[in-house]
């Protein structure tokens, strides 16, 4: 069969990795795909740098605009990242009758509906395995491998930067700022780390996973997103004493009244496999009603890992490029005319368990007041840890783990606890998931 | 689109689970597949039992032979297990122009080449996600998700029965026979457990995974297969003292001179995620040159978990049934005219690390003799544990962990050690993999 001809936009980490892996493993890939995948154009802002990156391989380098217009190109691989010019280029590529493979989670989470509509109208594939969890084929697992399941929930460590920071904070007992600086020095965190540490990147990814899992529209703007900047070393320590690890999880869960969609630091039982995912690694746990809980683990970023996902998409395109659109897997797993209308629940309506850290006067009656407030707000206590006050201190920490409840109950209880004269600081709230 | 019409052979665990999940999740599946999957025939040896199993659902029940001949049926789902009549029925179904979905790993490992040839000649799909690791979509991950990779190795816990037994032996300190009896009582082990405990089932599965990973023919007959019947409680304990867990792994590894294909109890560093897979769960770790190490974890058996895999295959068939064969993924990942010729290596040529337990006289010079023998055979010691003799005992245990070497060196060294007058029992050999 004639080769699949691709044009790569950008020869940075992902684009360069894709170039490398296609060059290195071309024969092995062709033995599986049944045809060669041939890079016929590279679109670059800085052509000289792109030519240097390819070190002697003679592939035409052109502008980004020329690449998406090139009549030679069957598929555009977009590895620029960010909203623009990526979005305009993808839409132009589609308008020009080209299929698209992209790693751009931010773009899909924000503008996926527009992109998929345009692609549907033209009969083009838009594939995005690389957008979530790098080299782990989680999109394929969810869209195809678990297609028989009514998905109950997904919980994922889908941001390597924050998992590295939390792992280091725990294993070395260091504060957030110190570890962040180290992560930046190692190249695991960007100079501006906002998207990662504030949970936005994980929010983009879990929105995509939720759409695929539940057949709902992309809903990033309705997700509750919290990062890890407020996590203190003592909470990691207390959690560990009680048998838990703290991870930044992206969670999507089906409830009777709608879908929970949230990113936040989460206590998980230390015995769970996913609690032991350390460093920059990613893992996604999926609970389906038929398959049960399956877990997908691997490197969530990096040049060749992400390239692995990009090329898997390219091989899918290679197989189906001359097939009818009905032979393809729908963009977001469900057929577009059968998307569900379940609402995304506000965070107040979310049901989970809680870790509460209270700073209180160490005197009689304090615990009684607190337990009364909890009972009044329908909160039941699963575990309680009261620390001895430090030498000469008149205050102490009380740590409470609650059973599952609706979040608004917890917020009411916290307001009441903070109004007590014996409460000496704002209550620290973390969420807890058993993932069983 | 018109529904995909299927006939199920056998309504036992897997067939019954498939019936249940298709009935329960039909709407959700159809929202994804774009068409209904409709059971139009059930083939059963005992029609009355099948009718009872469907409790009121009116689907024609017929003989197995009638089902594969039924003009109504597009796809045959074979869930009988075993070699015959499964093989003959599958071949007849193919001859009658029907696609096939099967969970039958033993049949594919032994007769897959014949079945795939027949299917290729008729243009039929034969899909078998359910044949390995139950609900975990590992076949899809390997064939499609990791298609860009040159696979370096695979190591999998792919037999739940033996993983349950080893988990219980470790956590409860019980001997093999006691735990096996418990597993049989719980329904985790068959009345005749030979296929599981002797590693044969894992051997079938790893042969399938190796073919898909490396593009070699199915090679079960060349695999080295050892089970867990000789594992003693003390070896589990010694391994733990040295930081390792013992798991029955199916391993396939690419070497310069060929492919290693083996099933045996294996020491793994306790810190590895896969070392913490307990009970009847399965997990497969795949090392690709681009994606790095990715892991797939979940229930490896059970009615609905296996049904999840069967139905994922059915949806793939539903999408591609009226597409050209070139649009389909090759049966064993690689196109049949591009299968490799790498030999499967004999166990003597395998390279790995070793755990050796020696029973020796507790007197001067014994360790010197042993270390000389190891050096003579190019074995270098990674760790050594010499136990104090028990009160009143004149003998003691020495446990050695070696660095990686070719197995024939180890066998020579063991023969020499066993020939020493101070060696009091046969040397216990276990293999050790770092999986890093």
Q: Render pLDDT for B234-280 as a digit per residue (tens, 0 to 9).
A: 999 999 999 999 999 999 999 999 999 999 999 999 999 999 999 99
Say whether pLDDT at B392 is over 90.
no
Taken in order of first residue, the domains within chain B and their CATH numbers are 4-135+303-338 (3.40.50.720), 141-297 (3.30.360.10), 347-432 (3.30.70.260)
Asked if B293's CB is within 8 angstroms of A296's CB, the reply is: no
Instruction: Give the pLDDT of residue A113.
Output: 96
8 Å CB contact of A291 and B273: no
* CB-CB under 8 Å, A324 with B294: no
CB-based burial label for A306 (10 Å; 0-12, 13-18, 19+): buried
Angle between helical axes of A233-241 and A160-172 (0-180°, round to 10) = 70
Chosen for mutation from A19, A163, A279, A294 (greatest number of chain B CBs closer than 10 Å) is A294
Cα angle for residues B143, B145, B150 (degrees, 5° grid): 70
Interval B25-48 mean pLDDT = 96
| B249/A400 Cα distance (integer angstroms) | 42
Pairwise CA distance, residues B11 & B285, whole Å:
32
B292–A contact, CB cutoff 8 A: yes
Nearest by CB: B327 against A296, A304, A323: A323
Judge contact between B415 and B358, C-beta under 8 A: no
**Terminal C-alpha separation, chain B:** 48
Show residues of chain B in contact with A299, CB under 8 Å. Answer: 291-294
Of B28, B143, B288, the CB nearest to A308: B288
Contacts of B33 in chain A (CB under 8 A): 147
Asked if residues B74 and B6 have their Cβ atoms less than 8 Å apart, the reply is yes
Chain B residue with Cα closest to A137: B145
Q: Which residues from B are below 8 Å from A323, CB to CB?
A: 320, 323-324, 327
Cite the beta strand spans of A214-257 per DSSP E.
Answer: 224-225, 244-255
Using DSSP's 3-state secondary structure scheme, residue B434 falls into coil
Q: How many CB atoms lie within 10 A of CB B256?
A: 5
Is A188 in contact with A164 (CB distance < 8 Å)? yes
B34 touches chain A (CB under 8 A): yes
Q: Residue B292: its chain A contacts at CB < 8 A?
A: 135, 298-299, 302, 304-305
Q: Strands A381-386 and B381-386: what pairing?
A: unpaired
Q: To the nearest whole angstrom, how far is the Cα of B129 from the nearest Cα of chain A?
A: 9
Long-range contacts of B406-411 (CB under 8 A, 24+ apart): B406/B348, B406/B349, B406/B350, B406/B351, B407/B347, B407/B348, B407/B349, B407/B350, B407/B351, B407/B352, B408/B348, B408/B349, B409/B377, B409/B378, B409/B379, B410/B354, B410/B356, B410/B377, B410/B379, B411/B348
A122 is catalytic: no
Burial B116-153 (b: 16+ CB within 10 A, else e): bebbeeeebbbbbbbbbbbbbbbbbbbbbbbbbbbbbb
- Residue A256, phi then psi, degrees to nearest 5: -60, -35
Q: What is the DSSP string of A94-158?
A: HHTT-EEEE--HHHHHHHHHHHHHHHHHHT--EE-GGGSSTTS-HHHIIIIITTTS-EEEEEEE-
Confidence at residue A391, expressed as pLDDT on a 0 to 100 scale = 86
Residues A191, A211 contacting (CB under 8 angstroms): no
Q: Determine contact: B299 vs chain A, CB below 8 A.
A: yes
Regions in chain A scoring below 70 on pLDDT: none
Q: Residues 142 to 171 of B: which have CB under 8 A from any A CB?
A: 143-150
In chain A, positions 272-291, which contact chain B (CB-CB < 8 Å)? 273, 276-277, 288-291
Window 114-143 of A, Cβ < 8 Å to B: 129, 134-137, 140-141, 143
Half-sphere exposure of B249 toward its Cβ, with a 13 Å CA cutoff?
27
By the 8 A CB rule, do A335 and A116 touch?
no
Q: Is B316 on the interface with A (CB under 8 A)?
A: yes
Q: Hey, is the C-beta of B1 within 8 angstroms of any chain A C-beta?
A: yes
Alpha-carbon distance of B367 to B386, in angstroms, equals: 9
Measured between alpha carbons, how far is B42 from B66 in angstroms, rounded to an integer?
Answer: 10
Give B320→chain A minimum CA distance, Å: 6
Q: Do B335 and A31 touch (CB under 8 A)?
A: yes
Residue of A nearest to B23 (CA): A148
Please tell me if residue A100 touches chain B, with a CB cutoff of 8 Å.
Answer: no
DSSP string, A251-278: EEEEETTEEEEEEEEEEEETTSGGGG--
Tell me which chain A residues have a C-beta less than 8 angstroms from the C-beta of B29.
147-148
- Name the least confident of A131-140, B221-230, B383-392: B383-392
- Show residues of chain A in contact with B150, CB under 8 Å: 24-25, 28
Question: Cα separation of A148 and A172, whole Å?
Answer: 43
B320 to A333: CB separation less than 8 angstroms, yes or no: no
Backbone angles phi, psi at A100, to 5 degrees: -130, 135
Residue contact A140–B145, C-beta within 8 A: yes
Measured between CB atoms, does A302 come within 8 Å of chain B? yes
The yes/no answer to whether this complex scores an ipTM above 0.85 is yes
Q: Do B144 and A307 touch (CB under 8 A)?
A: no
A182-193 exposure pattern, b = at least 16 Cβ within 10 A, e = fewer: bbeeeebbeeeb
Q: Which residues of B are catalytic?
A: 205
Question: Are the C-beta atoms of A44 and A12 separated by less than 8 Å?
Answer: no
State whether A295 and B294 contact (CB < 8 Å).
Answer: no
Which residue is catalytic, options A205, A230, A287, A408? A205
The H or E element containing residue B109 is: helix B105-122
> Which residue is closest to B151 within chain A, CA to CA?
A28
Q: Best mutation site among B291, B299, B317, B322 for testing chain A: the one with the most A CBs within 10 Å?
A: B291
Number of CB pairs, chain A paired with chain B, less than 8 A apart:
227
Give chain A positions within 8 Å (CB) of B288: 135, 308
Residue A30 buriedness (CB in 10 A; 0-12 / 13-18 / 19+): buried
Q: Does B31 contact A149 at a Cβ distance shorter than 8 Å? A: no
Contact B215 A296 (CB under 8 A): no
Read off the pLDDT band of B325 (50, 70, 90): confident
Chain A touched by B329 (CB under 8 Å): yes
**Does the predicted TM-score (pTM) go above 0.95?**
yes
pLDDT value of position B292: 98
Buried b (16+ CB within 10 A) or exposed e, A145-166: bbbbbbbbbbbbbbbbbbbbbb
- The answer to whether B304 contacts A291, with C-beta atoms less than 8 Å apart, is yes
- Contact with chain A for residue B297, Cβ under 8 A: yes
Sheet bearing A75-78, strands edge to edge: A61-62, A37-43, A4-9, A75-78, A99-102, A126-127
| CB-CB neighbors (< 8 A) of A32 in chain B | 143, 147, 215, 330, 333-335
Q: How far is A113 from chain B (nearest CA, A)?
A: 17
Average pLDDT of chain B?
96
Instruction: Give B375→chain A minimum CA distance, Å.
Output: 38
Q: Which of residues 344-373 of B touch A (CB under 8 A)?
A: none
**Residue A37 contacts B, CB cutoff 8 Å:** no
Rounded mean pLDDT, B412-427: 97
Q: Is B137 in contact with A149 (Cβ distance < 8 A)?
A: no
Q: Flag whether residue B27 sits within 8 Å of chain A, measured between CB atoms.
A: no
Stated as kind and residue range, the H or E segment containing B396 is strand B395-402
- How far CA A173 is from CA of A64, A152, A168, B152, in Å, comes to 46, 35, 7, 36
In a mutagenesis test of the A interface, which of B32, B283, B333 is the best target, namely the one with the most A β-carbons within 10 Å? B32
Residue of A nearest to B135 (CA): A291
3-class DSSP state of A221: helix
């Amino acid at each position: 069969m004639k080769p699949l001809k691709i044009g790569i936009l950008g020869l940075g980490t992902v684009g360069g990795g894709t170039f490398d892996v296609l060059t290195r493993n071309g024969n092995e890939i062709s033995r599986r795909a049944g045809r060669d995948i041939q890079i016929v154009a590279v679109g670059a802002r800085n052509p000289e740098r792109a030519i240097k990156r390819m070190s002697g391989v003679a592939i035409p380098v052109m502008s980004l605009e020329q690449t998406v217009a090139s009549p030679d190109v069957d598929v555009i691989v977009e590895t620029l990242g960010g909203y623009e010019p990526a979005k305009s280029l993808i839409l132009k590529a589609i308008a020009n009758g080209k299929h698209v493979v992209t790693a751009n989670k931010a773009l899909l989470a924000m503008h996926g509906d527009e992109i998929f509509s345009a692609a549907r109208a033209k009969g083009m594939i838009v594939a995005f395995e690389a957008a979530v969890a790098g080299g782990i084929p989680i999109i394929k697992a969810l869209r195809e491998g678990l297609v028989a399941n009514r998905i109950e929930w997904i919980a994922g460590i889908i941001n390597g930067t924050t998992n590295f920071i939390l792992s280091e904070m725990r294993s070395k007992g260091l504060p957030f700022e110190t570890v962040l600086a180290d992560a930046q020095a190692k190249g695991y965190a960007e100079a501006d780390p906002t998207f990662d540490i504030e949970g936005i990147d994980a929010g983009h990814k879990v929105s995509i996973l939720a759409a695929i899992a539940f057949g709902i529209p992309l809903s990033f703007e309705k997700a509750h997103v919290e990062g890890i900047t407020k996590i203190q070393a003592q909470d990691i320590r207390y959690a560990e004493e009680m048998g838990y690890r703290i991870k930044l999880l992206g969670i999507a869960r089906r409830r009777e009244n709608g879908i929970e969609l949230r990113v936040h630091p989460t206590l998980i039982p230390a015995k769970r496999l996913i609690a032991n995912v350390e460093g920059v690694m990613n893992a996604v746990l999926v609970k389906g009603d038929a398959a049960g809980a399956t877990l997908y683990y691997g490197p969530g970023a990096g040049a060749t890992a992400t390239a692995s996902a990009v090329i898997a998409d390219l091989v899918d395109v290679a197989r189906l490029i001359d097939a009818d659109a009905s032979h393809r897997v729908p963009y977001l797993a469900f057929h577009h005319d059968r998307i569900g209308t379940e609402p995304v629940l506000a965070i107040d309506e979310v049901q989970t368990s809680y870790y509460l850290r209270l700073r209180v006067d160490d005197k009689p009656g304090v615990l009684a007041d607190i337990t009364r407030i909890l009972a009044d707000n329908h909160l039941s206590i699963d575990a309680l840890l009261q620390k001895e006050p430090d030498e000469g201190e008149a205050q102490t920490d009380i740590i409470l783990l609650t059973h599952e409840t609706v979040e608004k109950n917890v917020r009411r209880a916290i307001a009441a606890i903070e109004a007590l004269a014996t409460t000496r600081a704002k209550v620290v709230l973390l969420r807890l998931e058993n993932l069983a």
